[in-house]
Amino acid sequence: MAKAFTVVLLLLNALEPAVGIKLEGNGYSDILIAINPAVPENEELIKKTMEMIVTGSEYLYQALDNLVFYKEVKILVPPTWNGSYEKARRETYDKANVIIKDPHSAFNDDPYTKQIKGCGEEGEHIHFTPNFLLNDNLLKVYGPRGRVFVHEWAHLRWGVFDEYNEKRPFYWSNRQQIEPTRCTREISGQWYEVINGNFLPCRNDPQSGLPTEGCQFFPDREQKTNASIMFMQSLDSVKTFCQDGDHNTEAPNLQNDKCDYKATRTVIFQNSVDKDALRTLTPLQSQPQAPKFTVIQRRHRVICLILDVSGSMQGQRILRQEQAATLFLREIVEEGAQVGIVTFSTNANILSSLTEIKGKASRDKLISSLPKIASGYTNMCTGLSKGFEVLRQDDGKTIGDDVIFLTDGEATDNIAGCLQSAVNSEAMINTLAFGPSASIILKNMADQTGGKFIVASDDLLSNQLVEAFSSFSLSDGDPTKQTLQLESTGKTTADWFNGTVPIDRTVGNGTTFTVIYERSTPTVYIESPSGQVYNQSKINEDKATKTITLNIPGTAEPGEWKYSFLNKETNSQTMTLTVTSRAAREDVYPVIVTAQMNQQSSDGTKPMVVYAEVSQNSMPVLGANVTAILESDKGHSVQLYLLDNGAAADTTKDDGTYSRYFTNLKDGRYSLKVRVTDHTDTRLSHSRYGGALYIPGYVVDGQVEINPEKPPTNVVPADVGSFTRIATGESFVVTLPGGIPPKFPPNRIKDLSAEIQKDTVLLSWTAPGEDFDEGTAKSYEIKWSESLEMLQNNFSNATSVDTALQPQEAGSAEQHALSDIPIQNGTTLFFAIRTEDNDTLKSDVSNIARVTSFVPTPRPPAISNPGLNLTAIVISVCVSIMGVCLIAAVTTCVMKRKKISEDV
């Protein structure tokens, strides 16, 4: 047995994940582009997409010193498109690296990349609109599409960030000069306020001295620098990324903020997923071949349930399996799918050949085939082989088909042999480890075949097996077809099991209440918001599976639904409730929740982070209550309240992604469940992610050539109402050396800000914890300097602030006023903090906050010549020559001193 296990591990180490971008030699392969089902069929869209990748490959090859290029790309078209396309294998819409979809309301046609993780970590996906790809009029404002793709690729693959800042397009430099936020500083241009087509000198804010909101930077079309792609790839001269020699560390942009002031090229070569390969690759001696494209399509799902009926499944486990599979077949799997059922123990049997889901009769037929008896050994390979036999019934192949494989025990056959056959099948194998003894191979099988790995307890109260089966709903990019889980709860009681479930306005079709009880039928009472009662006379009960089902006809009434279940027994029994529903209408997008970990296995050396995204039609939902429940197969359970505050584990504030560190690590295989409820201030966000910059115009031969004005965003009001959602993420494994839990330092403070109030500097930040964002740290070390570089490179030698401030509990709002800091006119001060815990472990140095003090003067008369780039400011007169702001200090008419503040 030990020898066989060693062979398995060696085989697993040799295998690569089934899906995801790969860097093979100098070429990137397995890049997946998916077109959303709502996009009308258009072969020109495919052609333009290919052209973008071809030119992008040439640009990338040049930008990274002839090291890399795009080698193989797949384009997944919607199932409704006609045409002869190759069948998709393990490629699905939710795994796409690039999505082509109608505009996000906050972006219009702006290309963008969704990044929920930190610097150097891969993003989620790139988003392009069909109009961006088809409308050549947009080339002027964004630049050639291939260049834009490389800009977004750097976000996606290498985890770098934008070097502009639309919210803070100008800043005070260390030399007390006003500079546009850019990289490099060598990018030249002029800035104006455009009013009714006239170019007027920018006005300046009386409090900050910086140009007001209407001021725009217009770059010179001809530049003398070749950087940087993450600032403005549209400029002809820009052909590379910012590197250490020309990186602008002063600019208040996301690249400096998220990547600790590192240049984008430095992050790519030292911190990204490709860092090791890029440092060892040899530049190609000739131009690489154009990328190879494959256009693929996935039509209906073909699914085989492969279910364990070995002896260890006897009793409650075989019942739990039947209960969960019944809910899947009745409520989760979509119309038009084909489903078969196979069981395995010592041998394997086909209980149902492929059956198309066409209404209630077909579902009931499959449900009646589910196994009820368990005996024999656990021969997993036999079950897999028989399952593949069923999958071949439609087209003679298993390519692109789905398997849901459930087992509770260690395999007794040669698992190494069938693991390789599973990989070779090109089917997606989702594995369910039911109970603590399920084979360790299940996770690896899911990983290598593009499936999900889910751990589920056999305890009825946990409802985990039902939640696991519910997570296997269709995810083809059309959320209106997806079955959503609104509630999953349970109680062990000798009395009443009561509660409410809100059904919000975005759902209501196909709403089902499913009650599973332990022994005897409870009294059922369900009441709609308007008072309509559903009781015993209106429910369906299956006494054999101890399941009660209530299907709400039509579209369920929005509002609070009450439920009460009475245990009529003297002794306590367990009851669970699962509520599922779908979109209210085809034109209504429901609130969607997804959950994931930042890594699927951990040895404790790298912090684990829980992420939950809450959105409606790609728009972030803010202000929700989001709780993650992590339970191991060894009984360890942790509940975490996730935050979207831009502090600690959360990368970006108010982006709809809620995050938290998971620090209480113990050995085991963990399930991940997220529960989301609305709050009094729950709302939709229309904030913009990073992405390619919309250029307002260019300076050509001293004159501004204006681009079309950027269209206003389509702000859609939030009218969701009260809601709840349950999401099950993929399970993960923790294996600690020696089983010893790791010790973590406090998390890095990321939201330090500073402002001057009279003669003091007020610092504000979110408190870190003893272990990242859990507990209470021991002390703060606050430093300041007049030099940004001092805090960046030599924090320990900067001037200390004498403070006895005791940290509050993690997540608390901290403030500290500094009265002994010399505040002089025209100076900029920088501040940073480091935290220490009770084990003397220290956090990384915080972000650096800055404040600038200046003396305002009377505003000079308005300048009427629109061709003169002369800007009147409060502290000085600023003349922009080739993008450099020259300061002439004003020493007359000195008024009461004012101060400004800004954060780096």
**Residues designated as active site:** 152
CB atoms within 10 A of CB 157: 22
- Give Cβ neighbours of residue 756 (< 8 Å, ≥ 6 apart): 762, 823, 851, 853, 899, 900, 901
For residue 46, what is the enclosing H or E element?
helix 43-63
Distance separating alpha carbons of residues 836 and 844, to the nearest angstrom: 10
Cβ contact 216:707 at 8 Å: no
Query: CA-CA distance, 98 to 149, in Å (whole number)?
Result: 10
Question: Residue 466 in contact with residue 488, Cβ under 8 Å?
Answer: yes
User: DSSP assignment, residue 88?
Assistant: P
Q: Where are the beta strands (DSSP E) in 636-723?
A: 637-642, 657-662, 668-677, 683-684, 697-700, 703-706
Neighbouring-strand partners of residue 562:
500, 527
Buried b / exposed e over 611-644, threshold 16 CB at 10 Å, is bbbbbbbbbbbbbbebbbbbbbbeeeebebebbb
Q: How far apart are CA 36 and CA 598, in angstroms?
A: 26
| Distance, CA of 162 to CA of 154 (rounded, Å) | 10
Cα–Cα distance between 116 and 121 in angstroms, integer?
Answer: 9
With beta carbons less than 8 A apart as the criterion, state whether 860 and 872 touch: yes
Contacts by 756-759, CB closer than 8 A, 24 or more apart? 756/823, 756/851, 756/853, 756/899, 756/900, 756/901, 757/817, 759/819, 759/823
Q: Using CA of residue 198, residue 201, residue 205, residue 208, what is the dihedral sign?
A: positive
User: At residue 425, what is the residue type?
Assistant: S
Q: For 751-826, where are the E strands, in sequence order? A: 753-757, 760-766, 779-785, 799-800, 813-818
Work out the angle between the directed axes of helices 415-425 and 441-449 (0-180°, nearest 10): 20
Measured at the alpha carbon of residue 246, what is the angle toward residues 244 and 251, in degrees to the nearest 5? 95
Token readout for 689 is 């992610």
How far is it, in rounded angstroms, from Cα 589 to Cα 720? Answer: 10
Cβ–Cβ < 8 Å for 513, 579: yes
Residue type present at position 269:
F
Residue 660: which of 633, 640, 680, 679 has the closest Cα?
Answer: 640
292 close to 72: Cβ distance less than 8 angstroms: yes
Given a contact cutoff of 8 angstroms between Cβ atoms, the answer to whether 469 and 514 are in contact is no
Q: Are 497 and 460 in contact (CB under 8 A)?
A: no
Cis peptide before 57 (omega within 30 of 0): no
Q: How far is CA 752 from CA 695, 749, 814, 827, in A?
A: 31, 7, 9, 19
- Three-class DSSP category at 271: coil
Listed in sequence order, the DSSP H helices in 301-346 are 316-327
Paired strand residues for 641: 627
Place of tokens 């559903």: 534
* Whole-angstrom distance, CA of residue 13 vs CA of residue 416: 12
Q: What is the DSSP letter of 480?
A: G
Q: Which residue, chain included where needed, has tokens 């947009």? A: 138
Q: What are phi and psi of 126, to 5 degrees?
A: -95, 145
